[in-house]
Structure 1
Amino acid sequence: MSFTSQIPDIKLQEMDIYHYLFDNPKVASLPEVPALVDGPSGRTVTRGEVGRIARQFAHVLAHQYHWKSEEVAAIISPNSVEYPSLLLGVLAVGGIVTTANPAYSAAEFAKQLKDSGARLILTVPELLPIVVEAAKMASMNPHKDIILVHHPDHPAHTSNTHLPNLYGLLGPEEYAPIRLQPNEIWDRVAYLVYSSGTSGMPKGVQMTHGNIVSNSQQKSACEGPTPKNEVWGGVLPFYHIYGLTIVIHCAFSRGIPVIVFPKFDFTLFLELIVKYRITMSHVAPPICLALAKHPAVPNYDLSSVRSLVSGAAPLDGELAKAVLDRTGIIVRQGYGMSETAPLVTLVPELDFQTGSSGILVPNMEAKIVDPAGRPLGIGEEGELCLKGPNVTRGYWKNPRATAETMDADGFLHTGDVVRRDERGHVYVVDRIKELIKYKGFQVAPAELEALLLTHQEIDDVAVIGIMHPEMATEVPLAYVVRKPQSALTEEEVVAYVASMLAAHKQLRGGVRFIDAIPKSGAGKILRRILRDAAKATTITATSTTSKL
């Protein structure tokens, strides 16, 4: 049996993203109101300026780059006040944006460039060495296919002067944004957000205009009227679906100013809450852990914060209680995934339940099923399956992966084991899928395993996620089978991964050497055996040889 939200379904505005945001009376009537404020410097971009820069950039794309409908531009950048205008400029001219993690290595970014088919890269001077290398690896022209994005007040590197700068390209001419018809928004892709899905290597999740606009409205319907003097903290990375939809689109559609954090620093987080009187912020569990334990917290007046919404990874109920007891701030949990744009459930402010991931957002249908696909009832644990206007149409140019995730009835299989109580609250119990969630970032064991198997002294390998209690997050742990006569050390394995992959994919759980990787008769790694073995020792254990 399926279930829906206790919140009544809403009549969705079926518009493309640009016109959803700029035909909104809250935006049209408040062009001089701040939309984004760079937290450290205070540099402000108004709501009117966001639209003007987007239209000017769209004109550049159309007339200087001869942009064609549904061509892809890649953005690899820290959070910035320009970021939304870059997104909207590409969308206005009918393009698609793929957002990338600025911590990526050149090889990782090159993979995304190749898979997405991006023809243009938007980046910042600090990332240029990696971006140029990635562009070459993806057979792009680093002299023609890169635009630097830095404000005139930002000192440009003299070696970068041969590349165009966004502000140098913009002129007074503005492009008239393409307006999609209601029937088009469900098929036209707006964003390609790379995720490992429910298993395997990173894939491009197709987010249509309809997906993003719907989820923004679903989130707003869960929150009710916007409180007076509301200010959000833009802590979450904008390239991540959580920050992309909730912090950029949802805040803009509701007329809420966002204080932008170019990079996260906990002390700065506290300082900017006080400076700007931030009332609400979307966070990940490690920030909650710091609020509960960091010695600096009592030195700051955090009374302006009405609540926090924690997502991207499970939040322990005891941790949420510790934050409440210490700071008086309610931490509400949400649940979602890249494939759902992302929000699926959210704890309402007036129905706070510790440990709950919340109730289903409106306009969605869900079911909880057993391994045979049979529907389960209240209190029973099974896999969560979802259907709704915010659910992806599938993976970019990967019909096989799409078919493996979507069933014949159109339900997305999440790979997460949940239960539902009689009040409709959903509790995440376990994960069927093998992904590791490090501070909200997805880490695919398959990607780490594929890399480690290229090491000349490694015969076999398996990677699992284990909980790091002090960091309040999962971390990757590698079980390694050395080649005969090899004296490979844990430090060497860790360094090998560190030299190849982004920071969130590092082997923070360590390395353990074993004689053989446990596998089924079909050759599938038996990760449960490895997880059970890992629980028997601490995550900081040094290299040892053991048998399973």
Structure 2
Amino acid sequence: MLFHSPFPSIPIPSVDLPTFFFDTIAKRTVFGRKPEIPFLISEQKTLSFAEFEKFTYAFASGLANNTGLKHGDTLLVVLPNTVYYPAITLAAQMAGGVVCTANPQYTARELAHQLKLIEARAVITIGSKVTAIKKAVKLAESSIPDSFIFTLDSENCIFDVLSAKPFPRIYLRTKEEAGSTIAFIVFSSGTSGNPKGVMLSHRNVVANILQNGAFDNTDVMRAKRFTEIEETPHALAFLPFFHIYGLTCVLHYQLCSGYALVVMAQFELEKFCQLVQKYRVRAALLVPPVTLGLTKSPVARKYDLSSIVFAISGAAPFSRELQQEAQKVLGFPVCQGYGLSETSPTVARATMSDVVYGSAGRILCNMSAKVIDENGKELGPGEVGELCYCGPNIMVGYLKSPAATAESIDSDGYLHTGDIGYIDKDGYNYITDRKKELIKYKGFQIPPAELEGLLTDHPAVLDAAVIGIYDDAQATEVPKGFVVIRPGANKPGIVDEIHSWLSSRVVSYKRLRGGIEIVDAIPKSTTGKILRRILKERELQKRMAKL
């Protein structure tokens, strides 16, 4: 059977993201009436809406007139969180460009993978990252010249690109244009191999902003609490903007909802608490490890967090026990949400008015869902299977990978998420397991096959496997490696050597925080497929034996 959203459908306008963004803020928020008040705030810089809008248009003109960026060209953005981030992405889209976001902690090897796929025309980064970018360009055999590697804070600065000249602004005015023109390429790990480029259209992102807004409008408790606060509430933006959760739910949705954003370049618990207290932050979008820290750490008790009206936890599973404890200790509702890069990202949310512990909530408006078994048969309420969703926020597809797209989106338009769960009779979604073998560390996806491939490149490693194990102390999965050492290569300190070797080749969140275990053999099927299930069962037995 199909499960339909309990919320009434809303119209999705046929419009490009920059036009929607600026029109919404100008017409529906306090920033339109008072463009001089703080809009984006950080320790280094504060921008009013008027300053933000002026910079965005000047950078769009500069991209078009001074770099030759044209319709369909891709701009790779490799930046930490900054008040200029949304201006840079919107400017590129105004000039007709596609924005690809990348983790600024990525190694040259990881960046080269993205560069090779997206064929970027230019890169925006920070000065300390230029050397890695140039190495990545070389590894990818890209044609990007050094002069098109721009920085926010060093030589070849983006402020030198700004222009006041007219430029051919790109407008999207039909459903077909908005639905087929790519706004963002964000990378999401598949079930194996390297991450895939998820193509999100202007319509995808606009739809998800509006779907979240429509959902919040149905939340009676939230509406009541927000009538009692100041005209310009503040939200804290620490989730990385290169990640779809930070990109859509924080950067675009919160600003379109009238929040001033307090931007953190990176998360640090005490700094987070200090900023909540200083700015009387009203909304907090979290991930489970941060929720755990706020709940358990004595650091959080030193600060007044009572200004927070509500918090949403997403990007990774959130246990019923932690959700209940967090809400009790923190004193404000902590609601779950569920989504994927492929869904722009939000699929389901829970309201403040009706928190159902352990549930990710109900699907947003304009969406439907089905749960299927291994044979593709549709299941009913409470029956466990693979969760599949359909709606205007479902991605266009995977970049240069039609086969992977066809495997993920069926002929009826439903995205097969690879997540296992069920939907109860009241429409609440529950995620219980993962069909895909991805490891989720603090919301970041880690494909085991990528790490396995790297491990077997080490001269001492004959074979390898990687699985996710749950770390209670961090409230997240962590990757653990299993290696078979070549004859004659097993020596004192070999595990530490492999650890250091791998850590130098991957971004920090992909490191084997669960450890490396030397084994005699990696369990495999008759066709040679790694049986990670057996390794997980062994780890579970070890865990149970310690209890």
Where on the TM-score scale, by shorter chain, does this alignment land: which range? over 0.9
Is 1:509 matched with 2:514? yes
Matches within 5 A, 1:82-161: 82-138=84-140, 139-141=142-144, 143-150=146-153, 156=154
Task: State the 1:142 CA deviation.
Answer: 5.0
Match of 1:217 among 205, 210, 216: 210
Distance between the aligned counterparts of 1:410 and 1:218, measured in 2?
18
Distance between the aligned counterparts of 2:502 and 2:305, measured in 1?
39
Q: Which residue of 2 aligns with 1:253?
A: 256
Q: Which residue of 1 aligns with 2:196?
A: 203
Q: Kindly provide the amino acid, as one letter, of the partner of residue 452 in structure 1.
A: L
SS in 1 for 2:147: coil
SS in 1 for 2:298: coil
Is 1:72 matched with 2:77? no
Q: Kindly provide the amino acid, as one letter, of the partner of residue 416 in structure 1.
A: D
Task: State the 1:13 CA deviation.
Answer: 2.1
SS in 1 for 2:179: coil
Task: State the 1:538 CA deviation.
Answer: 5.4
Match of 2:177 among 160, 180, 184: 184
Q: Kindly provide the amino acid, as one letter, of the partner of residue 40 in structure 2.
A: L
Distance between the aligned counterparts of 2:289 and 2:57, measured in 1?
38
Task: State the 1:292 CA deviation.
Answer: 1.3
Question: CA 1:149/1:253 → structure 2, altered by over 3 Å: closer, same or farther?
Answer: same
Match of 1:450 among 448, 453, 456: 453
* Aligned 8 A contact 1:34 1:257 in 2: yes
Greater Cα offset, 170-179 or 4-13 = 170-179
Distance between the aligned counterparts of 1:199 and 1:480, measured in 2?
18
Q: Kindly provide the amino acid, as one letter, of the partner of residue 5 in structure 2.
A: S
What are the ranges of 5 or more consecutive residues in structure 1 without an aligned counterpart? 151-155, 157-162, 542-548
Is 1:35 matched with 2:39? yes
SS in 2 for 1:110: helix
Q: Kindly provide the amino acid, as one letter, of the partner of residue 342 in structure 1.
A: P
* Aligned 8 A contact 1:84 1:248 in 2: yes
SS in 2 for 1:204: strand
Task: State the 1:412 CA deviation.
Answer: 0.8
SS in 2 for 1:133: helix
Distance between the aligned counterparts of 2:143 and 2:40, measured in 1?
32
Matches within 5 A, 1:368-379: 368-379=371-382
* Aligned 8 A contact 1:363 1:388 in 2: yes
Distance between the aligned counterparts of 2:354 and 2:96, measured in 1?
41
* Aligned 8 A contact 1:313 1:437 in 2: yes
Distance between the aligned counterparts of 1:94 and 1:274, measured in 2?
40
Distance between the aligned counterparts of 1:319 and 1:494, measured in 2?
31
Greater Cα offset, 240-249 or 9-18 = 9-18
Q: Which residue of 1 aligns with 2:534?
A: 529
Q: Deviations over 1:206-258 (max 9, x none)?
A: 01000000001111111116654322110100000000011111112222111
Distance between the aligned counterparts of 2:473 and 2:161, measured in 1?
47
In the superposition, the TM-score normalised over structure 2's length comes to: 0.93
* Aligned 8 A contact 1:56 1:175 in 2: no
Q: Kindly provide the amino acid, as one letter, of the partner of residue 128 in structure 2.
A: E
Question: CA 1:300/1:192 → structure 2, altered by over 3 Å: closer, same or farther?
Answer: same
Is 1:296 matched with 2:289? no
Distance between the aligned counterparts of 1:415 and 1:302, measured in 2?
37
* Aligned 8 A contact 1:55 1:176 in 2: no
Is 1:2 matched with 2:5? no
Q: Kindly provide the amino acid, as one letter, of the partner of residue 170 in structure 1.
A: L
Q: Kindly provide the amino acid, as one letter, of the partner of residue 12 in structure 2.
A: L
In the superposition, the TM-score normalised over structure 1's length comes to: 0.93
Is 1:359 matched with 2:351? no
Is 1:407 matched with 2:410? yes
SS in 1 for 2:81: coil
Distance between the aligned counterparts of 2:62 and 2:350, measured in 1?
43
Distance between the aligned counterparts of 1:273 and 1:115, measured in 2?
40
Task: State the 1:30 CA deviation.
Answer: 4.0
Q: Which residue of 2 aligns with 1:63?
A: 65
Distance between the aligned counterparts of 1:199 and 1:446, measured in 2?
5
SS in 1 for 2:436: coil
Task: State the 1:144 CA deviation.
Answer: 1.2
What are the ranges of 5 or more consecutive residues in structure 2 without an aligned counterpart? 218-222
* Aligned 8 A contact 2:66 2:161 in 1: no
Greater Cα offset, 128-137 or 414-423 = 128-137
Is 1:22 matched with 2:47? no
Is 1:284 matched with 2:303? no
Distance between the aligned counterparts of 2:36 and 2:302, measured in 1?
34
Distance between the aligned counterparts of 1:13 and 1:438, measured in 2?
36
* Aligned 8 A contact 2:61 2:164 in 1: no
Q: Deviations over 1:402-449 (max 9, x none)?
A: 112112222111000111222211111000000000000000001101
Q: Kindly provide the amino acid, as one letter, of the partner of residue 504 in structure 1.
A: Y
Is 1:274 matched with 2:282? no
* Aligned 8 A contact 1:477 1:508 in 2: yes
Distance between the aligned counterparts of 2:236 and 2:302, measured in 1?
19
Distance between the aligned counterparts of 1:48 and 1:312, measured in 2?
33
Distance between the aligned counterparts of 2:434 and 2:146, measured in 1?
44
SS in 2 for 1:207: strand
Task: State the 1:49 CA deviation.
Answer: 2.2
Q: Which residue of 2 aligns with 1:383?
A: 386
Q: Deviations over 1:453-506 (max 9, x none)?
A: 111111111111110110111011111111122215221221121010000000
Q: In percent, how many aligned pairs have the same letter?
A: 40
RMSD of aligned alpha carbons: 1.7
Distance between the aligned counterparts of 1:404 and 1:13, measured in 2?
29
* Aligned 8 A contact 1:370 1:383 in 2: yes
Distance between the aligned counterparts of 1:108 and 1:196, measured in 2?
12
Q: Which residue of 1 aligns with 2:220?
A: none
Matches within 5 A, 1:221-240: 221-224=214-217, 228-229=229-230, 230-240=233-243
Q: Deviations over 1:275-311 (max 9, x none)?
A: 0110011111110110111111111111100111111
